[in-house]
């Protein structure tokens, strides 16, 4: 099932896509819900980020080749940092290039969206009960500021630096998904989630052992090799098998 959040005739709603029409959801996407009978053509809505997270937990260096391309060692436990919810934008919205950076990079990633509140998840528990679905994510980074600062907050937190969407795909196995990033139509990243150093269930246990995860929270699971710079006027697309394509443009 693919769940979209969208604006239609000044109302914000979520809906399930069947062929090319959206059936609005009655109730909460985080609980059992029903679908309305009347459908809306997807071409008539404006897509929004699939959920509004209270926080975004990002995993750094979760693919060996990416750690190596930036000259970093492969970590022996997950490296985590936060992006603020104010950075979130949806499909086809603009990434704003900040004036104080001369180097802004794309990082295509698989996002995990939390379904219900979880703290201290244990390995033997049914982790899939806590996952609502998966989406495409772009961990946009002001690389020059990341190298300059001791920690990541400034480089990762500009408004618009967390493109997310276009939908949530439920009932997906997060292992073994092809992830591709296209810059102005040219393939620049091609990875597979099976090459993550730390798996999705491991990350759920690890992160929830540090902080309570709330419904709608996002874990961005790290980027494969091939990161590179964006330019104003460019278009960047993150495509993940079973989910779809998140497409954004860049402007100054
Ligand atoms: Mg990243």
pTM: 0.96
How many domains is the chain partitioned into structurally?
2
The residues with which 63 forms a beta bridge, in sequence order, are 196
| Cα 58 to averaged position of ligand 1 atoms, centre (Å) | 6
| Cα 109 to averaged position of ligand 1 atoms, centre (Å) | 7
Same domain, 21 and 102: no
| Cα 139 to averaged position of ligand 1 atoms, centre (Å) | 5
| Cα 88 to averaged position of ligand 1 atoms, centre (Å) | 14
Same domain, 34 and 72: no
Same domain, 94 and 203: yes
Same domain, 31 and 68: no
| Cα 61 to averaged position of ligand 1 atoms, centre (Å) | 7
Torsion from C-alpha of 202, 205, 209, 211, nearest 10 degrees:
100
| Cα 140 to averaged position of ligand 1 atoms, centre (Å) | 8
| Cα 107 to averaged position of ligand 1 atoms, centre (Å) | 6
Inter-CA distances, 66 with 62, 106, 174, Å: 8, 13, 19
Q: Which pLDDT score is estimated for 64? A: 87
| Cα 215 to averaged position of ligand 1 atoms, centre (Å) | 22
| Cα 197 to averaged position of ligand 1 atoms, centre (Å) | 13
What is the phi/psi pair of residue 47, to 5°? -70, 145
- In angstroms, the CA 38 to CA 174 distance is 32
Q: What is the pLDDT along the chain (252 residues), one digit of tens a residue?
A: 999 999 999 999 999 999 999 999 999 999 999 999 999 999 999 999 999 999 999 999 999 888 888 888 888 999 999 999 999 999 999 999 999 999 999 999 999 999 999 999 999 999 999 999 999 999 999 999 999 998 999 999 999 999 999 999 999 999 999 999 999 999 999 999 999 999 999 999 999 999 999 999 999 999 999 999 999 999 999 999 999 999 999 999
Q: Which pLDDT score is estimated for 149? A: 96
CATH number of the domain residue 82 falls in: 3.90.850.10
| Cα 60 to averaged position of ligand 1 atoms, centre (Å) | 5
Same domain, 34 and 60: no
Q: Which pLDDT score is estimated for 65? A: 87
Q: Which pLDDT score is estimated for 243? A: 98
Do 137 and 110 contact (CB within 8 A), yes or no?
A: yes
Same domain, 180 and 140: yes
| Cα 106 to averaged position of ligand 1 atoms, centre (Å) | 9
């Amino acid at each position: 099932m693919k769940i979209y959040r969208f604006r239609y005739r000044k109302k914000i709603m979520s809906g399930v896509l069947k062929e090319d029409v959206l059936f609005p959801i009655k109730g909460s996407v985080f609980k059992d819900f029903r679908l309305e009978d009347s459908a809306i053509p997807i071409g008539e809505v404006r897509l929004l980020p699939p959920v509004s997270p209270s926080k975004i937990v990002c995993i750094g260096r979760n693919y060996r080749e990416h750690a190596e391309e930036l000259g970093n060692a492969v970590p022996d436990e997950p490296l985590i940092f936060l992006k603020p919810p104010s950075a979130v934008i949806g499909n086809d919205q603009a990434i704003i290039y900040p004036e104080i950076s001369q180097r802004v990079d794309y990082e295509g990633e698989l996002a995990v969206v939390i379904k219900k509140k979880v703290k201290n998840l244990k390995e033997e528990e049914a982790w899939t009960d806590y996952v609502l679905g998966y989406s495409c994510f772009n961990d946009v980074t002001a690389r020059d500021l990341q190298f300059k600062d001791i920690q990541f907050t400034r480089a990762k937190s500009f408004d618009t630096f967390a493109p997310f969407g276009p939908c949530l795909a439920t009932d997906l196995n997060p292992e073994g998904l092809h992830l591709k990033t296209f810059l102005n139509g040219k393939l620049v990243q091609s990875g597979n989630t099976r090459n993550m150093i730390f798996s999705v269930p491991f990350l759920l246990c690890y992160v929830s052992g540090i902080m309570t995860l709330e419904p709608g929270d996002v874990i961005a699971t790290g980027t494969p090799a091939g990161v590179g710079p964006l330019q104003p006027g460019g278009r960047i697309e993150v495509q993940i098998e079973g989910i779809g394509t998140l497409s954004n443009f860049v402007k100054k």
